[in-house]
Amino acid sequence: MIFKGGNSVVSPRARLGRNVRIGDRSVIHDNVVLEDDVTIANDCVIGEPQSDYYEGEHYNNPETSIGSGSLIRSHAIVYAGVSLGSGFSCGHRVTIREGVSTGKSCRVGTLCDLQGNLTMGDYVWLHSNVHLGQGSLIEDFVFIYPYVVLTNDPLPPSDQLRGVTVRRYTQIGTMSVVMPGVEIGSNSLVGAGAVVTKNVEDFSCVVGNPAKRVKDVREMKMPDGTPAYPWPHRFDRGMPWAGIGYDAWIQSQTR
């Protein structure tokens, strides 16, 4: 393993757990907390100072925390004031602004742009180049595919932002846009290229511009004829029910 930390800069005011690895040229700013077994690859900036930094002399960097076992791939920029849960991992060149809070085991793909002041639950997976506006609320086990934008300004420009809510287990297809304040119910499927202008009910498949409900996802089948949705019964890679099955896992959670 090559984590020599050549030309890296770690603030004396950062706190590092056991077995933390830091790559070349990465910068760890004031008040960053890296828990045990965190890996920061090359050329990352963790705890990037917020805008005030460029103006005031008495800037104090807010706390940034990265949970145990997380892997931050190269060229990430994580602002001060971010909290990433344990087992977080990301691709290259992600930008995560202040006020982002994630649960455990989230994945954020290459080039994602998290605009700040938003909340992600557990096991939220963002593929490459997803843009989440401020005020977004994303529940557990939601997967969002490339080039999706969650918006927040109904009448631009304004400062009256209304974030998007996405309920658990929902899948949002590539190149979709979700309009400000929209709530997408649980276990839904938003088709690629959809423009979602209205709330979406649970278990709905919506497609088109503007998006329309075309079916109940529970009618959709895999090539072998088995039900495709809800998907947790047929997909477990990286999920907490891997190896034991979704039903057994749910029972273990509700006990």
List 12, 157, 225, 243, residue binding a copy of itself (CB under 8 A): 157
Q: How far is the CB of 83 from a copy of itself (least distance, A)?
A: 20
- Number of residues lying near a copy of itself (CB under 8 A): 67
237 touches a copy of itself by CB under 8 A: yes
List 75, 104, 107, 167, residue binding a copy of itself (CB under 8 A): 75
241 or 254: whose CB is closer to a copy of itself?
Answer: 241
* Phi–psi pair at 171, nearest 5 degrees: -115, 130
Q: Got the DSSP string for the chain?
A: -----TT-EE-TT-EE-TT-EE-TT-EE-TTEEE-TT-EE-TT-EEEE--GGGGT-SS--PPPEEE-TT-EE-TT-EEETT-EE-TT-EE-SS-EE-TTEEE-SS-EE-TT-EE-SSEEE-TT-EE-TT-EE-TT-EE-TT-EE-TT-EE---SSSS-S-----EE-TT-EE-TT-EE-TT-EE-TT-EEPTT-EE-S-B-TTEEEETTTTEEEEEGGG-B-TTSSB-SSGGGT--TTSTTTTT-HHHHHHHHH-
Q: How far is the CB of 255 from a copy of itself (least distance, A)?
A: 27
In residues, how long is the chain? 255
7 touches a copy of itself by CB under 8 A: yes
105 or 174: whose CB is closer to a copy of itself?
Answer: 174
83 touches a copy of itself by CB under 8 A: no
List 88, 123, 231, 246, residue binding a copy of itself (CB under 8 A): 231
List 28, 34, 38, 43, residue binding a copy of itself (CB under 8 A): 43
Q: Which residues bind a copy of itself (CB under 8 A)?
A: 1, 7, 9, 24-25, 27, 39, 42-43, 45, 48, 53-54, 57, 59, 71, 74-75, 77, 91-93, 95, 110-111, 113, 115, 125, 128-129, 131, 143, 145-147, 149, 151, 153, 155-160, 171, 173-175, 177, 179, 189, 192-193, 195, 207-210, 220, 222-223, 228-229, 231, 234-235, 237
